[in-house]
Structure 1
Amino acid sequence: MKGTSSNGTVVSTPVQMTVGSAELTVNKLADRKGDKPGTTIGTPVIISNTGIVPADGVQLKVLTTRGLAYADRFSNCAYSSVSPDPYGGPSEQALCTFDTVVEPGKSYRLDQPLDLEVTHQALHEFVRREALPLSGAEAPSGSGPKLSLVAAGAADTSGTKIGRQYVLADNSADMAAGGDTAEGAPGDLVHVDLSLSNEGPARMDNNYSDDQPALLFTVPTGTRAVEIPRQCSVWIADAQMGNGEQTPGAPQYVCNPLDTGFEVGDTRTFRFGLEIRDGADTTTGTAKATTAYDNTLEFDDNQANNTAPVTVEVEDADTATASASASPAGTGDNGNDVRSRTVADAAVTGSLASTGSSSALPVAGAVGAGALLIGGALVFFVRRRKA
């Protein structure tokens, strides 16, 4: 830089500039599986500086999901609840401040264990750790012992900027399906309220895969779904997924809650409008607690309540016997075919929930090889016995 002045003297001053920064990483931790509620797990933290300049102090940010709790409170850590992200991310934060100078090429560890308690609601849990340069932040003055950083040798070159660890607890969450009963005459529009709930003991928030809880609805035979909730879409059995569209007349729908986390006691309700078709009899479909891809709820130890009947009682029907819609019988926009009768069995009561399927046999198939289904009518062939 140069300067001129009519009434002064321009002097030079040397300025030393360092090009570079402190690059802080944390150690990687293997995922955990099988920790029981009530136990305590360790979360060792090693902070390394892989940059070329020292960090004049460090902030350690630790985030956990609500199924994990901090076993100890330290005076230089601030604890708070933060808003989880839409995908069920961490929500309990510990922000610890250290005035230790972290030199380049070296690592530092916590002088005391940072333990986490596995609570009675733990199931699919998550821990996130990150080290940041202090940048002039002041240390909190809370109660409890002070957590410090001590030298731990050379920098760990295998570390990561953000350390993530999944903790899959040895616990269960009882996801239950709720059915409903409606009554009407052929041509009427009736409504059924289906539900998906968590009866505990663990909170359900699957944050390590896309296999979120869902409700699979098999439309009762002889009815046509014409009003579909916004969170539900047509189920494509071959693809084992929903297509994202609320098209009327499909035989099955899957409902995916937008908020995928289920606290204990949470219930999500889905209202369907069903049109009773001409010629329909009293009929029963099913609501099934499952995953977004209809996979087994492996964490659910009580699968007896995973299915529930959805019954439409038809006034002036030919028969009072409910026919179970054990499998989708219709295609296109016609819903389940009114003439595809099935024999009612335990699928109506939900006792087959452990298998996720029904043993209901179509009447046409149960008659035997001597029957042929043509144009919706049963035609019997009788072989004359020769003398």
Structure 2
Amino acid sequence: MPMPPHHRRASRAAVAALGAAGLIALAAAPAAFADDTAPELTVGGVKPISGVKPGSTFDVSATVANKGTGAAEKVWVTYAVTRGLDFAEVPSNCWTQRVRPYDEMPERLTAVCGFDQAVEPGVAYTTDRPFRVTALDRAFHDELRLRVGADEPGPDDNGSEPVTGTAPALKLVERQAGGEGTKQVVDVPVTSVNTADYQVTGAALKGRLGDTVPMKVEFHNAGPAWIMPRLGDQPVSVVITPPAGTSVVKTASFCRAQGQAYHCGMRAPALNEDGQETYTFQLKIDKRVAHANGSVALSTEARPFDPDKTNDRADITLDVTGGGSTGSTGGSSEGSSSGSTGGSGGSAGGSTGGLGGSTGGSIGGGSGSIGGSSSTGGSLAATGSSALPVTGVAVAAVVTGAGTLIVVRRRRGQHLN
């Protein structure tokens, strides 16, 4: 899920201090405030990583360069990974923090490393040994984000307490120029060899004519991999067809009617390993129809990571008790013409979030939805908060199954850009 760029905003105190007199002074002498010797740091040197096996490790050797005209007296390099990855060791000049998902950003683990040495203009540097990353059992589509800056990123206030590393400190050493990149932030896709098993569970309904009964069906990712959709991926949706002879009194969250079926999206945490989404409808039994089975099924887009198709569909059976004549075998009545767009946010761990644990929405401190007819992005977004350069906190419910977008954001105090 894309993580939108965030930019450092001036504090109210700083804005208040810059009054009319200050603006006049700036206009009168702009050259006095120009900095012709500022460093311009970039990071790069890491290509997309693929073919990783869960449980194995791989090395990251980033290159830092200074394309400005002045030296940077100290630099910070941030490594951030999505929830399928971990750090094999953390050097003593780095601190780590696990940040819960929020806004469109998945959960992530970050390591901020400070190098107390000058980075000279026109010189390229790399670390004296690689930064080692581990692929967890749930790894599949993940992402590594690298960021460099002359100012230390503060901890993200949506994350855990920072922990200082214990391994020997990393150092920067000069290297031959080339491959250092031209950006302050780069995202590197990491693809592991893994599978996930999407499943659906049906329901057995029973009631008398005229009764209103609950219908509860489920989507489940049995793992072992978690799935972080990437830009351009077609999201999965769940297609629910109620039994004939019933009408829908109340529609489940993230669902909307399309003909006699309901197409349902889901919150991002449902795609974590062992994640699930439950859809609860209220059905009225209007008439008895022989063999009136409904169904719940996954949508039919290609999912090469999910080879087991035997559990992609399940029946919804209906046993009508009591008297009454048998009707024809027609389809079910339309209940609500549009699905409810409600749904509660996910929590910050277990099966909710995105760059790691699994919290709410998009993949975060809030809840988002994927599936239905809209596609959902995949990677860590462009720049971000202190930890991933990712962003501030929020509740984001993107009910793609219902064609509705609901976003409520609460900005966080820490930003990287």
TM-score of the superposition, structure 2-length normalised?
A: 0.63
Choose the corresponding residue for 1:268, options 270, 277, 281. Answer: 277
* 1:19 partner amino acid: D
**Which structure has more helix as a fraction of its residues?**
2
Q: CA RMSD in A?
A: 3.1
Corresponding residue of 1:170: 193
Does residue 1:296 correspond to 2:313, yes or no? no
Map 1:34-45 to 2 at 5 A.
34-45=51-62
RCO (CA 8 Å, sep 6+): is it higher in 1 or 2? 2
Does residue 1:61 correspond to 2:82, yes or no? no
Change in 2 beyond 3 A, CA 1:281/1:129: same
Choose the corresponding residue for 1:308, options 302, 311, 314. Answer: 314
In the alignment, is the contact (CA less than 8 A) between 2:195 and 2:305 conserved in 1? Answer: yes
Map 1:1-387 to 2 at 5 A.
18-27=35-44, 29-134=46-151, 142-154=165-177, 158-235=181-258, 250-290=259-299, 294-315=300-321, 316=323
Change in 2 beyond 3 A, CA 1:170/1:208: farther
* 2:240 partner amino acid: F
* 2:223 partner amino acid: G
In the alignment, is the contact (CA less than 8 A) between 1:111 and 1:149 conserved in 2? Answer: yes
In the alignment, is the contact (CA less than 8 A) between 1:281 and 1:318 conserved in 2? Answer: no
How far apart are the structure 1 equivalents of 2:45 and 2:261?
44
Compute the displacement of 1:317 (Å).
Answer: 6.7
How far apart are the structure 2 equivalents of 1:183 and 1:318?
17
Change in 2 beyond 3 A, CA 1:176/1:312: same
For residues 12-35 of structure 1, the C-alpha deviation after alignment (integer angstroms, 9 at most, x for no partner) is xxx997435222111154333332
Of structures 1 and 2, the larger Rg is shown by 1
For residues 132-170 of structure 1, the C-alpha deviation after alignment (integer angstroms, 9 at most, x for no partner) is 104699xx9642111011112346574322111112211
Corresponding residue of 2:342: none
Compute the displacement of 1:129 (Å).
Answer: 0.6
Change in 2 beyond 3 A, CA 1:33/1:149: same
* 2:190 partner amino acid: V
Compute the displacement of 1:254 (Å).
Answer: 1.9
* 1:262 partner amino acid: L
Compute the displacement of 1:40 (Å).
Answer: 1.6
Change in 2 beyond 3 A, CA 1:203/1:334: closer
In the alignment, is the contact (CA less than 8 A) between 2:297 and 2:314 conserved in 1? Answer: yes
How many aligned positions are there?
297
SS in 1 for 2:117: strand
SS in 2 for 1:167: strand
Unaligned runs of 5+ in 2: 1-31, 155-162, 338-417
TM-score of the superposition, structure 1-length normalised?
A: 0.68
* 2:71 partner amino acid: P
For residues 188-216 of structure 1, the C-alpha deviation after alignment (integer angstroms, 9 at most, x for no partner) is 32221011112122223334555344322
Identity of aligned residues (%): 26
* 1:107 partner amino acid: A
Compute the displacement of 1:124 (Å).
Answer: 1.6
Unaligned runs of 5+ in 1: 1-14, 236-249, 336-387
Moved more, 109-118 or 80-89: 80-89
SS in 1 for 2:217: strand
In the alignment, is the contact (CA less than 8 A) between 2:245 and 2:332 conserved in 1? Answer: no
Compute the displacement of 1:71 (Å).
Answer: 1.7
Change in 2 beyond 3 A, CA 1:158/1:59: closer
* 1:100 partner amino acid: Q
SS in 2 for 1:55: coil
Change in 2 beyond 3 A, CA 1:215/1:185: same
Corresponding residue of 2:387: none
How far apart are the structure 2 equivalents of 1:333 and 1:266?
29
* 2:310 partner amino acid: A
Change in 2 beyond 3 A, CA 1:223/1:16: closer
Moved more, 168-177 or 221-230: 221-230
Moved more, 279-288 or 72-81: 279-288
